[in-house]
Amino acid sequence: MPPARATERARRRTTVSIAAAVSTLALVMIGTSACVVIHTPAVPDNATPIAAPDEARLQAEKMIAALAERDRRLACVQSPAVMEYTAGDQHVKAKEDITAKRPGNLRVEAMSPFGVALLLAAQGNDLAIFEPGRNRFMRGQANADTLYKYVRIPMAPTDAVGLLMGLAPPAFALGSSANTVSNDGAMLVTTFGDAASGTHALGFSDGNLAMVRDTGADGRINYEVRYSDYRDIGGVMFPYVVDASFPAAGSHVTFHYLRPIVNGVIPDSTFVLTPAPGATLMNLSFDDGGAFSNES
């Protein structure tokens, strides 16, 4: 029947029009979605959630307060340790007995397969070194140059003691507020100072001090120390691994403590050495060329 055929054609036209409209709308939506995806920054799969600024600063203040409390409670440490040092093509690995007592007392006995190879003791501004194999006794000023030459730490004794005990160096003002607080992976980093004068940074992980970094006004890192493997020793958390890098000196030194004892009784005489009978005596004062002068 003609009316019926006319109606069927109309329905078909209507269906085609609706389908075309739906297809067009879909293409528009896909194009719009593509634009949205292109303009939306991708989130890395390994992104670490960053706390809100106020929350992060509050957390940092708690960590700094806990570090300051630990600073007050920790007075000294004694431990055998494995020291590993690298600089350029140099590589030294040795067992040492380390005794550190605040503020700047230090005693290091470097061992060899035949016994004590070198004994160093620093107390205040005085430093003495004894080499049993040569029966040579040296005395001089306790400074960064001497400590670097003999125990691979280019720091004055006070800073070296802090490094070995997992403490913030004296130059780090724990009583002041951090200038910036940020996240470095799982580590919360607080920074003191500014680029013009140099910065001090403290990093915290799992509630403990994980990193200390000192950067000069020229932007170069003077040293960076990483602490790990914390264990509870008599109620004081202490790192069994101290890993220090000194970019200026081009060196790297790691200490693995074996059996640390904290806050034991250490007499001051521990840090005083006297020459053995018949020992060759030398003065550790440096001349202009950097050589030792011999006063024997």
Q: Please indicate, yes or no, whether residues 219 and 127 belong to a single structural domain of this protein.
A: yes
Alpha helices in the chain (DSSP H): 2-39, 53-73, 144-151, 157-165
> Are 254 and 244 in contact, with CB atoms under 8 Å apart?
yes
Tell me, yes or no, whether 49 lies in a domain.
Answer: no
Strand pairing report for 251-257 and 105-112: unpaired
Return the residue matching tokens 């029947």.
1
In tens, the pLDDT along 105-124 reads 999 999 998 899 999 999 98
Separation between Cα atoms, residue 203 and residue 209, nearest integer Å:
6
Query: Which pLDDT belongs to residue 28?
Result: 35
Rounded to a whole number, what is the distance in angstroms from the first to the last CA of the chain? 132
Residue 278 belongs to a domain with what CATH number? Answer: 2.50.20.10
R_g of the chain computed on alpha carbons: 32
Tell me, yes or no, whether 165 lies in a domain.
Answer: yes
Report residue 39 as tokens: 């303009």
Q: Please indicate, yes or no, whether residues 216 and 285 belong to a single structural domain of this protein.
A: yes
Q: Please indicate, yes or no, whether residues 79 and 198 belong to a single structural domain of this protein.
A: yes
Q: Please indicate, yes or no, whether residues 254 and 111 belong to a single structural domain of this protein.
A: yes
Q: Please indicate, yes or no, whether residues 2 and 85 belong to a single structural domain of this protein.
A: no
* Mean pLDDT, range 239-252, rounded to an integer: 95
What is the domain count for the chain?
2
Q: Please indicate, yes or no, whether residues 21 and 109 belong to a single structural domain of this protein.
A: no
Q: Please indicate, yes or no, whether residues 18 and 82 belong to a single structural domain of this protein.
A: no
Query: Which pLDDT belongs to residue 212?
Result: 96
Q: Please indicate, yes or no, whether residues 77 and 218 belong to a single structural domain of this protein.
A: yes
Angle at 120 between CA 74 and CA 273, to 5 degrees: 100
In tens, the pLDDT along 217-238 reads 999 999 999 999 999 999 999 9
Q: Please indicate, yes or no, whether residues 12 and 95 belong to a single structural domain of this protein.
A: no
Q: Please indicate, yes or no, whether residues 35 and 58 belong to a single structural domain of this protein.
A: no
Tell me, yes or no, whether 137 lies in a domain.
Answer: yes
Phi, psi of 18 (to 5 degrees): -65, -45
Cα–Cα distances in angstroms (integers) from residue 28 to residues 15, 23, 31, 166, in the given order:
20, 9, 5, 61
Q: Please indicate, yes or no, whether residues 61 and 35 belong to a single structural domain of this protein.
A: no
Q: For the range 214-221, what are the long-range contacts, defined as Cβ-Cβ under 8 Å and sequence gap of 24 or more?
A: 214/169, 214/171, 219/195, 220/247, 220/248, 221/245, 221/247
> Are 269 and 263 in contact, with CB atoms under 8 Å apart?
no
In Å, how far from its chain's centre is CA 49? Answer: 22
Q: Residue 30's domain spans which residues?
A: 1-42
pLDDT of residue 32 exceeding 90 = no
- 52 pLDDT band, cuts 50/70/90, is low
Tell me, yes or no, whether 10 lies in a domain.
Answer: yes
> Are 238 and 230 in contact, with CB atoms under 8 Å apart?
yes
> Are 107 and 270 in contact, with CB atoms under 8 Å apart?
yes
Q: Which residue has the higher pLDDT, 161 or 173?
A: 161
Separation between Cα atoms, residue 240 and residue 232, nearest integer Å:
10
Tell me, yes or no, whether 47 lies in a domain.
Answer: no
Q: Please indicate, yes or no, whether residues 172 and 30 belong to a single structural domain of this protein.
A: no
pLDDT of residue 271 exceeding 80 = yes
In tens, the pLDDT along 175-202 reads 778 889 999 999 999 999 888 889 999 9
